[in-house]
Amino acid sequence: MVHDSALARGETDFAADRLREQFGRPVFLVHRLDRATSGCLLLAFDRDSASALGKALMSQDFEKDYLAVCRGWPEPAEGVIDHPLDGGPGKPQKKPAITAYARLATAELEIPSAQHPTSRYALLRCTPQTGRFRQIRRHLKHLHHHMIGDSSHGDGRHNQAFRMMGVHRMLLHAYRLSFPHPLDGRRITAIAPGDDEWNRAMARLGWSDVMEAALQRPPGT
């Protein structure tokens, strides 16, 4: 968990607390990641910087790119998911939610699925234009291309198949953040490589080279 909240459900270990201890000073969260999502997380050391970055987050100046593995091959290969979402538990009002995606790679594994002897998977770059509750995960479910490893909105049969391959995590990774520095406006871009389990999934799907290329040449570079 990034920080303590109503969703923590008795958790006591939080990223924000670890970082405060590590740096020996206050930290201020600029945004959050779902508990099962890896990758870039932006924090500030003072309130003014956090406020400036928070304003950038609400504008087109702040870019977030995720990598996601889903079942099936979404068509078209590039598109925009425009589907309103509620705010999660206790927040039933639906608000606009938009996610752009691009299909970076496809694979077909000998895993039986329904009437088919194989299963298809795709690696997507997802760029949320809004910041709704579990937006990418729920948008992929809306397309019927469920995210692998998502126990809340995914497909249990495919999740189990990946667990049998030694991949027990949700395959959603916030691999790129790009934003203006709050003091001088210079462009800062952060890139996060995948962890061992993510890399194991990429190798099993034959996408190690695709992943390496995505990290070396992110969008806009």
162-194 pLDDT, tens per residue?
999 999 999 999 999 999 999 999 999 999 999
Judged against a pLDDT cut of 90, whether residue 11 lies above it is answered with no
User: What spatial distance separates the first Cα and last Cα of the chain, rounded to whole Å?
Assistant: 31
Compute φ and ψ for 145, nearest 5 degrees: -125, 70
Residue 160 has pLDDT above 80, yes or no: yes
Mean pLDDT for the chain? 91
Confidence band, pLDDT 50/70/90 cuts, at residue 3: low
Does the active-site annotation cover 34?
yes
Model confidence at 113, pLDDT cuts 50, 70, 90, reads confident
Q: How far apart are CA 178 and CA 109, in angstroms?
A: 34
Catalytic: which of 17, 34, 196, 209? 34
Percent of all residues in the chain with a pLDDT value above 70, rounded to a whole number: 94
Q: Alpha-carbon distance 173 to 193, whole Å?
A: 9
* Structure tokens, 117: 């002897």
Enumerate residues 6+ apart whose C-beta is below 8 A from 90. Answer: none
Distance between CA atoms of 7 and 188, rounded to whole angstroms?
Answer: 31
> Pairing mode, if any, of strands 38-39 and 172-180?
parallel
Residue matched to tokens 């479910």: 141
- Mean pLDDT value of segment 89-93: 87
